[in-house]
Amino acid sequence: MIENQSDNIENKENDGSNQDNSPEDQITENIDLSPQKTEEINTEELKNTISNNDARLEQLEKEHETLKNQYVRISADFDNFRKRQSRDQDDLKVQLVSKSLTAILPIVDNFERARQQLKPESEEAQALHRSYQGLYKQLVEVLKQQGVAPMRVVGQQFDPNLHEAVLREPSEEFEEDFVVEELQRGYHLEGKILRHALVKVSMGPGKQNSQEEVEKDTVEVDVTSEENTSEDV
């Protein structure tokens, strides 16, 4: 009887061990049967990752293009600003130099007038003349170093951009609208007008004779009209 009970106990233990091992065996069997399903899951995840990376890459490319365009515009604006600043500085420099040199030009005019009018005869007067002529040459040299150049206008066609006409007179030597005489010298400053030249302009040959003929004809008409009036009376 005791032996039968021990056999029953051993049978129960064997049955329990068989029951305990069955779920593990099922899991192992399931794992062994699902490699294809696992591969499909990994492939799907990889596709999603690639799709997300492509979208991110496209977004980054758009942002890069936007930033690149902004950089190009900013660079062009800065370059234009730098050029504009350089031009403004050059213009300001020319304006300041022009203002200073224009104030000096009347002194040059006085030196030139003195040279034309004064005719020193005594030795002392000649020495004084040479002295101020030396000062005049130094002044002219300084102006030349600053880029100032005198205009040559006599014999040139009148140009309102360069000349300022003060007088007009008939001339047998020059055609109409040509400069006959320079009354005040004009100057350039590095290709720009520093001061206009005051000039006398030709009216052309024959203008004076034509004017005299017109006056003569007018007198003759007046005389004829007076004679006709006297006859009528």
d(CA 76, CA 192): 30
Task: Please write the tens of the pLDDT for every residue from 37-85.
Answer: 676 677 777 778 888 888 888 889 989 999 999 999 999 999 999 999 9
pLDDT at 92 over 80: yes
pLDDT averaged over every residue in the chain = 76
**Percent of the chain whose predicted confidence (pLDDT) is above 70:** 70
**pLDDT value for 34:** 59
Q: Where are the beta strands (DSSP E) in the chain?
A: 148-150, 163-169, 179-184, 187-189, 192-195, 197-202
d(CA 110, CA 183): 13
d(CA 143, CA 109): 13
> For strand 197-202 and strand 179-184, is the pairing parallel, antiparallel, or unpaired?
antiparallel
The answer to whether the beta carbons of residues 197 and 164 sit under 8 Å apart is yes
**pLDDT value for 37:** 64
Which of 60-64, 94-98, 223-227 has the highest mean predicted lDDT (pLDDT)? 60-64
Instruction: Give the three-state DSSP class for 202.
Output: strand
Closest by CA position to 144, among listed 190, 76, 193: 190
Instruction: Give the three-state DSSP class for 192.
Output: strand
213's tokens: 């003929």
